[in-house]
A and B are shown apart, each in its own frame.
Chain A
Amino acid sequence: MKASVVIIVLGSWGLMLFLPWWTIIFPCFIAGLIGPDRGYKAFVAGLVASGGLWLALALFADFQNSGVLTGQMASVMDLPVWAVYAATLFVGAVTGAFACLAGYLVLGRGR
């Protein structure tokens, strides 16, 4: 599972720097192919690694900006600031989780 997390974090980050956000499904899928030995582990690996990456990068951007932009964005969306984080985490985590699970299931390893 550790390998999956590393592949997802490094792969997604690298791809997102240059390509559209949805290309994160490829490293997540690959991580699912080679890493976990259980379906739920694959799902959790995608969830934690991809979601964690999105959350950490968002926190870093927010920190650099002293929170000004996040506050503005929250009021544009008419949401509290934590909900903007939650939405970001959700998009990264759920997409990563299913991509990783799909990778695991395609190869069909484990019991």
Chain B
Amino acid sequence: MKWIKAGGALLITLALAIVFSSQLGPVPALGPLLNPVSGFWQSDGPQHKPHHVWLTGMGLQDSVLVVYDDRRVPHIFARNNHDVYFAQGYVTAQDRLWQMDIQARSGAGTLAEILGEGLVEIDKEQRRKGMMFGALNKLEVYEQDELLMPTLTAYTDGVNAWINQLSHRDYPLEYKLIGHKPAPWTPLHTLVMHMNMASTLASGTSAAGMSNVREALGDDFINRFLPAYPADMDPIIPENTQWPFNPVSPAEVPDAFSPVTLSDANYAFPSPYLGSNSWAVSGYRTESGRPLLSNDMHLELSLPSIWYEVQLSSPDMNVYGVSLPGAPTVIVGFNSDVAWGVTNSGANVLDVYEITFEDESLSRYRHDGQWKETSYVVEEIPVAGGHAVIDTVWYTHHGPVGFLDRENLKGQATQWIAHRASVDLRTFYEINRAGGYTEFVEGLQYFDVPAQNFTYADREGNISLWHNGLFPVRWEGMGDFISDGSDPAYDWNEFIPRDHVPNITNPERGFVSSANQNPTDPEYPYFLGRFFASYERGARINEVLSERYDFTYADMLGLQLDNVSLTARTGLPLLLSLFEEHSSYEELSSEEQQFIEQLRSWNYEMLGDAIEPTLSRLWLTKTRRKIWDQVYSRTDRRPVRYPDNSRTIQLMADADEYEMMLNDFAGGNGSSLPEIVAQGWKETISQLREERGTPDNWNWADVQNVRVVHLGRIDALTRAGIQTHGASEALNSKRGSVGPSWRMVVSLEDEIRAWGVYPGGQSGSPGSVHYDDFIQPWADGEFFPLHFFESGEEAISWIQQGHQTQRVSP
């Protein structure tokens, strides 16, 4: 009896030890998680006041001073370039290790290794996209680069120096929740992070949607309603600019190609919401007589944030700005002489090719009248708590085959500029040290992908903009549709020489600007792609910047927060006047009449606490959908690319063209515009009532639901329902989880002054006060003055004097 009791108690003890150490379904292992000495209780992250530390040993060549200001921005002062990048890796890992790890895994297709079976398909997709293929190609040329490889290695060593000194107790919270530990960093991880950026910004394609539209409606429809050069575009480089060079000629234009449909093929359209604003104003338009530069990049808003603020100082460099966790250098910022910003290019750099295989072995494919050899990579996807999944990815000379129809011996391959070898980070290495315009332009040549509009201003008074990246030389329309992978006319043979890319310096109008719109008018001798951002934001910037000659930095902050919607300004008056022509307009309830009155007197500002933006946006969206559904309902091919708001508004303003559109493309029958607009209104009101109840719940901010989303999709660590102004087509460009991810304004006076803010916080640790402390100022339209110190002594004395950063608003 005694032994039974003792044995029972022992068994229960062991069972408890085992049960509390195991993950049970969604419940993490409670013992390690709740352990007060090393569990989540210890993952608190930084809470403390401004301070400074000296880093020594660990592989550093000298001692490095890191001064944390009151917003926890590290100001790194090193005595050589090795140490500055080592320290950057070290401090970034300290604040953002889990983010770096999970993002690198996401790019490399190794999420299932820590998160289990559910992530296998996502991993597979990344591998078929060639993410690692591109990163490995890049690594080869980095290894040859005498500046960048030491930079990458130093950064990597810094990250690993931080990781190596961690015990379980120090791991970021998320590791404890999933019961995993950080993996060592390598230079390849940094290049995967670069591939992630390329994937976010330059891997969308409309090819499948456009081939479907062409098949159903023909080229006439496309040329009229999905034009490469929209009538209202306000290009980045002003119209009628001369191009003083002899362009490289593309291949001969082949006959139109009709692809077969692959049922599982699935490509992301380029996101119309990812975009950015950037401009530089020359001294003759500013109060100080010196240039002002402004930039805000609209990206997926995440916690931890995509950006990490940092100052890097070494004997040949002193630079401040935002960096990408996982990559050395400053990506957007300024030094004591120059400032630069970026907006994304919509140029088409990913083509989809239909591949015809010889037989079921898939070992050869058709190209240029011959059968050519394929190659393949066997991808092994490790799975936590399960067997590795094997996936074979076939490659043609175009690139990896993402989708296969073995029965019909067809496939679709993608050729993507990001697959090519390039040392893009070298650009930032050079620009971080640039003393003037010549060095800035020399630095640009290394940057291939994702192509950006680099906006530039310096203390000498120059302003400039380069639409910079590697672009294949295309015949007009090449790559707009699914390409014939067997026809060499679709191959990428030549690339636009770097001094031929669209660029402009010190223009007469006194400013340069970009908001992702068409870079040039049709006179530019190269075809870059069909779909750039619609004109609204670009035109608004140009409209405001043309008005005055006494701009101050506060005006620039204010312009970033501008909420005027050109879509509403052009579209709403049309909706209202077309509605008046319809019989139901006379029968509106008194409440609806009140809405109409409000819309009539509205100033088109997309304010969070108003309902006019909600009504206007929803009404126009429904109307647009209804207009084009009359055309697209005649085909069951999907996906299809819809004409954008601006083209729809032009059509609504032209009764004859609308009539023609119905006759030529909708089989001659369709509804009148007043009828469609009236239906759109009715559905707008009923949808709002159904989904949101009474009109006091229809405020724009509630409909937009601006949110900053935790990278691991843990809802409790996401910040949602942020009350703020703005809309995707306004300069204050926000929509759901996309918005200004870093706002910066730089005044290039004798002593550079700068302001910035991003929706997040420097620490990735949810237990830190610095996890989300910038979100409220960001939502309220406030900025922080950025502290750019000349020396470590100045930085230390600044924090010792107990300064506090005071927010500013325009």
Using a CB–CB distance below 8 Å, which chain A residues touch chain B?
13, 16-17, 20-22, 25, 29, 54-55, 57-58, 60-62, 64-66, 68-70, 72-73, 75-76, 78, 84, 87-88, 91-92, 94-95, 98-99, 101-102, 105-106, 108
Residues A91 and B30 in contact, CB atoms below 8 Å apart = yes
Interface residues of B (CB under 8 A from A): 2, 5-6, 9-10, 12-14, 16-17, 20-21, 30-32, 34-45, 47, 173, 177, 714, 716-717, 765-769, 771
Taking a contact as CB atoms under 8 Å apart, the answer to whether B34 and A87 are in contact is yes
A61 touches which one: B9, B12, B30, B36 (CB < 8 A)?
Answer: B36
Interface pair B16/A94, CB less than 8 Å apart: yes
Q: Which of A22, A29, A101 has the most CB of B within 10 A?
A: A22
Name the residue in B14, B17, B42, B769 with the highest tally of chain A Cβ atoms < 10 Å from its Cβ: B17
CB B483 to nearest CB in A, in angstroms, measures: 47
A-chain residues with CB within 8 Å of residue B17 when the two chains form the complex = 22, 25, 95
Do B36 and A57 have beta carbons less than 8 Å apart?
yes
Q: Is A21 a contact of B32 with CB atoms below 8 Å?
A: yes
**CB of B172, distance to nearest CB on chain A (Å):** 11
Q: Name 11 A/B residue pairs within 8 A (Cβ), A-sorted.
A: A16-B38, A54-B36, A57-B41, A61-B42, A66-B47, A69-B765, A69-B766, A73-B767, A76-B714, A76-B716, A105-B5
Residues of A within 8 A of B6 (CB): 102, 105-106, 108
B35: A residues at CB distance < 8 A: 16, 21, 54
A17 touching B767, Cβ below 8 Å:
no
Residue in chain A with minimal CB distance to B31: A21
Q: State how many angstroms separate the Cβ of B165 from the closest Cβ of chain A.
A: 15
Given contacts A57-B37, A57-B41, contact A72 B717 (CB under 8 A): yes
Are A105 and B2 neighbours in the complex by a CB distance under 8 Å? yes
A6 to B780, CA, bound (A): 54
Q: Least Cβ distance of A10 to chain B in Å?
A: 13
Please tell me if the beta carbons of B767 and A72 are within 8 angstroms of each other in the complex. yes
| Cβ contact within 8 Å between B16 and A95 | yes
Contact: B31 with A68, CB < 8 Å? no
CB neighbours (8 Å) of B173 from chain A are 69, 72-73
A76, B27: Cα distance in complex, Å: 11
Q: CB within 8 A of B767: which of A68, A78, A88?
A: A68
Min CB–CB distance B799 → chain A (angstroms): 21
Q: Which residue of B lies closest to A39 (CB)?
A: B5
- The residues of B that contact A87 with a CB separation of less than 8 Å are 30, 34
A22 and B769 contact, Cβ closer than 8 Å, known pairs A78-B716, A105-B9, A106-B6: no
Is A91 within 8 A of B13, CB to CB? Answer: no
Residues A102 and B10 in contact, CB atoms below 8 Å apart: yes
C-alpha spacing A58/B765, complex, angstroms:
18
> Quick check: B31 and A22 within 8 Å, CB to CB?
yes
Which of B12, B31, B38, B714 makes the CB contact (< 8 A) with A91? B31
**Contact call A69/B43, Cβ cutoff below 8 A:** yes
Give the chain B neighbours of A75 by CB distance below 8 A.
716-717
- Taken together as a complex, chains A and B put the C-alpha atoms of A47 and B35 apart, in Å, by 16
Given contacts A69-B41, A102-B9, A105-B2, 13 further A-B contacts (CB under 8 A): A17-B37, A20-B21, A21-B38, A25-B17, A61-B42, A65-B767, A69-B43, A69-B45, A88-B34, A88-B41, A91-B34, A94-B16, A95-B20
Q: Chain A nearest CB: distance from B672 CB in Å?
A: 53
A60 vs B9: C-alpha distance when bound (angstroms): 31
In the complex, the answer to whether B714 meets A68 with C-beta atoms within 8 Å is: no
Q: Which 6 residue pairs across A and B have the least CB separation, nearest first?
A: A69-B767, A75-B716, A57-B36, A105-B6, A102-B9, A61-B41
A16 vs B10: C-alpha distance in the bound complex, in angstroms? Answer: 21
